[in-house]
Structure 1
């Protein structure tokens, strides 16, 4: 009976994937770009500019990281009930979840941020009555609210697809052991689904990191907000090069952490 929850589709670890011509060309192009960026920075290095804006850049980077992580975490909490509602048999439950996902995935993120930041201000009296105006009067919280809902829509679809990819036999095996649906879902199905969803989740965070630059428009001094401020005062294009490098570092760190997490979670499939 212990074999019920073991996946039968273990990857073939005996073969190595070879890099084709397209992969070599792609890697070569990125290597040339990286060398060009490094040479540009070394050639146009401005110590005064670095000493003036180095610390603000790090502060902006911290704002970006905290905003993205907080938004992703809040979106993950919202995405679970939305994903379950999307798979519900009852149309009354399924349709509102579909509308939520359709709206936030189908409309531009910048429009959603403006709707929250500027639109909710029209209902200030209402939010003051219920004690929430302190939240929606701050640009950072408006950005957090908008990014969290947008991410929740994407995460809900990722989670729904991952859950539906788990074989039905896992449910049947759990019921044969006398487990409740709740225990089967959280102890058997969801852990397997999270392994499938790991890569899409990482892609979602990467997209959020790049999309978070939009919040600079509503006066959130994240990494891109500090970059705009630095350029408006110096008119030095190097300020944008620094921002691009820091964004690339963030993405690369996330990629490597994803590889480590995937290797850790799937180590039982490589035995």
Structure 2
């Protein structure tokens, strides 16, 4: 086999011209799904982390059960539970006016991803908050700073610096896990790949998908490394 034949086998210009735009669309859907769910998950995760650190026993137990469930069960099972399980209760959701949500695969997938990553981010944030030295809290108390001011101005900035690495790993894991969205008819990157393969039976489309996933992960990895470097300049 010549080099030209090998190049054609791995990068068919006609196939690329025909389906390339669809891959770009799928890539954008993946980026949108991961970006929105990760951001919402971060906000929810912070609330859950604070609940896990609360002096209220009931709140600690409720948030602990939440984290245990979503970290202990597969994301795929959670997605199917939301879309196929709760989505089967059509009459109930129609009665309370929420059927528009649970009949939509995109919204159910977004919710499943948000709830799942929130549990992981909550534990990351909880650990990073606990890593801040107790002496700094005592110093803020001696300065008569309120608990909210102490948390917002002293505790949170330092804990985020500790958490940025683990949060970056969680984001990368989410990017790779997002491929399961294709199982509920979402035309993300993997969904488009499966569709194109079903029409062409050309294995190179999976190679394209792998390269695009690697590209996204590498961009995220380098961006996080740059951000972490800039944020930690003052302690180097």
Shorter-chain TM-score bucket reads over 0.9
Residue in 1 that maps onto 2:103? 137
Residue in 2 that maps onto 1:165? 131
C-alpha distance in 1 between matches for 2:229 and 2:192 = 36
Aligned-residue offset at 1:211: 0.5
5+ residue gaps in structure 2?
A: none
Residue 200 (1) aligns with residue 166 (2):
yes
Residue 97 (1) aligns with residue 60 (2):
no
Equivalenced residues, count: 232
Structural mapping, 1:76-155, within 5 Å: 76-155=42-121
TM-score (norm 1): 0.83
C-alpha distance in 1 between matches for 2:144 and 2:7 = 64
Residue 235 (1) aligns with residue 201 (2):
yes
Does the CA contact (< 8 Å) of 1:87 and 1:94 recur in 2? yes
Question: Could you say if the C-alpha distance between residues 143 and 42 of structure 1 is closer, same or farther in structure 2, counting changes exceeding 3 Å?
Answer: same
TM-score (norm 2): 0.95
Residue in 1 that maps onto 2:188? 222
Does the CA contact (< 8 Å) of 1:41 and 1:238 recur in 2? no
Residue in 1 that maps onto 2:34? 68
1:157-177 deviations in Å (ceiling 9; x for gaps): 000000000001111111111
Does the CA contact (< 8 Å) of 2:168 and 2:221 recur in 1? yes
5+ residue gaps in structure 1?
A: 1-38
Question: Could you say if the C-alpha distance between residues 47 and 100 of structure 1 is closer, same or farther in structure 2, counting changes exceeding 3 Å?
Answer: same
